[in-house]
Structure 1
Amino acid sequence: MIDHTGVIVSDFDKSKNFYRAAFAAIGYELLAEFPAAVTGHTDVAGFGEQGKPDFWISKGTPNVPPLHVAFRVTDRKIVDAFHAAGLQAGGRDNGAPGLRAHYHPDYYGAFLLDPDGHNIEAVCHLPAPK
């Protein structure tokens, strides 16, 4: 089971603002932030829910190739809101909200590229409400 993951970003403040906005739509918030003086290496920020950061960004040379991280949500409207908020916060579209039936009939996802090109996804695996 994965406890936490993250990406390395080139512009810490720009990325922090992007993730803060996009993640608000999925119920994630900025929960922890430590400067290089504390970590002994670089600035870091942790996002998550219920007081537990499980996605971290750290300042540095971005991962090459960029990473893909998907966040599971419980409603297709949350996928839509994530995509809209991320675009508004400077993310780039990498796949508008919609069904991806080639994965499975109820796979509803949206993809954004963060400021460094990391492919960040919100996905709902549940059928559409009737």
Structure 2
Amino acid sequence: MFDHVKFGVRDYAASLDFYLKALEPLGVSVVDHGAHGVEMSTDGKSSLCLYQTEETPAHLHLAFMATTREQVDAFYSAALAAGGRDNGAPGLRPRYHANYYAAFVFDPDGHNIEAVCHELEA
């Protein structure tokens, strides 16, 4: 869907821990970790990159593709366990379309992070 998304975070360690735990159910893992931050991916083609900054980041909404509704549920549980704050429990969002099944959490910087499955329930 995208080549890469890169954004700064205020607490690099907390954000790295949050994203690794919250996105693990979606198959996301570290591809590269160095002086310029971390790069995470599911396929090695597109990536999410985080880096430390003292700037106050603008609000961001990231929606990650899930292939099943169970992955959405697992993302939500993992994100809350990793310190995320609830912004919408897993469920259908018919205002978007009939099969839009999603969950929303706020990350440590207050960004709106979503996992969404567009497939029919199995």
Query: 2:4 corresponds to which letter in structure 1?
Result: H
Residue correspondence of structure 1 range 93-104 to structure 2 within 5 A: 93-104=86-97
Which has the higher mean CA deviation after the structures are superposed, 53-62 or 88-97? 53-62
Q: Structure 1 unaligned runs (5+)?
A: 36-42
Counterpart position of 1:21: 21
Partner AA of 1:108 in structure 2: Y
Larger Rg: 1
Q: TM-score, normalised by structure 1?
A: 0.88
Aligned residues: 121
1:67-86 equivalences in 2 (<5 Å): 67-86=60-79
Any unmatched runs of 5+ in structure 2? Answer: none
Q: Deviations over 1:93-113 (max 9, x none)?
A: 111100000000000000111
Kindly state the Cα deviation for residue 52 of structure 1 after the two structures are TM-superposed: 4.2
1: CA distance, partners of 2:112 / 2:51: 16
Question: What code does the residue aligned with 1:28 have?
Answer: V
Residue 59 (str. 1) matches residue 77 (str. 2): no
Residue identity over aligned pairs, in percent, reads 45
TM-score (normalizing by structure 2) = 0.93
Give yes or no for contact 1:7–1:67 (8 Å, CA) kept in 2.
no
Conservation of the 8 A alpha-carbon contact between 2:18 and 2:84 = yes
Alpha-carbon distance between aligned partners in 2 of 1:100 and 1:94, rounded to the nearest angstrom:
13
4+ residue runs of structure 1 moved beyond 4 angstroms? none
Q: Is the 8 A contact 2:29 2:40 kept in 1?
A: yes
Shift of 1:53: 5.4
1:75–1:126 CA contact under 8 A, matched in 2: yes
Deviations 1:52-73 (A, max 9, x none): 4511111112422x10010111
2:9 equivalent in structure 1: 9
Q: Determine the C-alpha separation between the residues in 2 that align with 1:26 and 1:62.
A: 28
Q: Which range moves more in the overlay, 26-35 or 11-20?
A: 26-35
